[in-house]
Structure 1
Amino acid sequence: MTGSLLDVCLALLLVSAAAGTLAATDDAAKTAPHAAESRASETAATLATTTASVEYTIVAAEGTTGPDDAAASPEADRIAHGTLGEHLARAVTRSATIDDTALSPAVGDYRRGVRRAVADAVGSRTAIRAVWRPLPCAGLGATVRVGPRPPPTVTVRAARFSVPVGASSVPAASESDTEDGATTAASRAVAVLFPPDRIAAAARGDPIASAAVTDRYRRAGRATGVDAIARLKRGGPRSANRALAAALAADAEAGAAAESPAGERDACGSGDPTRVTIVVRTWSP
């Protein structure tokens, strides 16, 4: 082989190698975003399907666990079972506030346990946000976050899914509710916060849980201007729930009117009392 021919062959080899390197780089660039998106989706699937048991202690108002202040009582120790998504949904609905008034201090230990379980399952460079926004104009809702906020310089991929919450016993909207659905939405939201059947069962045989529920009713009543405890004593949880729902519906309508004097629908944005939205965000180093 002559020197000229050898030079040509080497040049062709170098061009081929360079083309191969460029192709590999292009493939990697195309694959990276898909891999990141896949990790966000896979993390969402993990939350939706992975089951866990979360241990926690019921702590009612002022650091008590019940009417006798049985702080060391083993009856205050509980275990909740479900998927990680279901745990997040429970934690966020039980963390609900009305105009920044916390309804359930007893949820703190459970919420911490849920955060630990979720953080262990999803690993690093992942942020989870669970949101319950049932009545945007009434100031009722909650958010629970797990993981750090992503750095401002990275590309973030996201996936989301929803977890149903609440009781199916609340009727669908009636004709009087068709304009904005405030009454029905409020009734469904209150049923999520105070499930009547579970509350009645707790009152019959679980004094620690019953004390925590009573404290939650008291706080909700103060936030809405309703004597929920009197209603609870006279007519049970359904009566107290109706009074709270009426007050929340009125607040929602007043809030909507303040946001949009012209009467635009969805002035405060959309809300859904029957679902918790979970958003997963992931990023690479």
Structure 2
Amino acid sequence: MAKGEKLKGKEYRELLEPMTEELVGMARWARTTGARIVVLFEGRDTAGKGGAISAVRDKLNPRQCRTVALSKPSEEELTQWYFQRYIAHLPHAGEIVLFDRSWYNRAGVEKVMGYATEAQVEAFLKQVPVFEKLLTDDGILVFKYWLTTDQDNQEERLKERLEDPLKRWKLSPIDLAAREKYDAYTKARESMLKATHTSHAPWTLVDFNDQKRGRLTLVRHLLDHLPDTHVAPPEIDFPDLGHEPSAESYGVLQPIPDYRPEH
């Protein structure tokens, strides 16, 4: 494949399949050992967070692996400690939680768009390493991914959302306003990385200019940085049914009479 050539769908699926089997094994390991796993997906609008989350989650039990994508805080939540509403979504034993954006909103969109004051952002950047140290000290495995994309790719994807009725819902007024602040987001990100890239909860930047390659890179990194997750699947006794399988009974559905309320 030529350098810079984007990965084709068939090749992507072939490369992802064995990693998906490893993800299923990882989930079995987490359930068996009681491990708690948190994965943060951060990046600019259109970077590909949703697709990356799907690559991790799609074949896993939704009761064990769930996605958290919080909307803007309510009036009540605005009066709480900033991290409070995120704490409620942390995993219990055996659970995997994928954050589609996270507490890092404060250092990104809230800072750039003026939803948080400089004092609030400064306090947040001081508190995050301490907050995440509390999580990891308690045994939670924390992975933080920033999905990078150049501005020309972002513009192309925004136009695609605008023109595709099935993706139009992804395009918000904030997205359109943010596209004019690409450099401001870069500056905010660099400040965030400098303050919050720690030994106990490091950042990993993944190139998502080619989203398929980016997903493969992210999943491989996640799998390679977990403890040994090999747990043999349980033996399941599947005895012979003992008779010929029964056919489903197909009745004839009768029309439902029109409901006409009495006056």
Q: TM-score range by the shorter chain?
A: under 0.3
Higher relative contact order (CA 8 A, sep 6+): 2
Higher strand proportion: 1
Q: TM-score, length-normalised on structure 1?
A: 0.24
Q: TM-score, length-normalised on structure 2?
A: 0.25
Higher helix proportion: 1
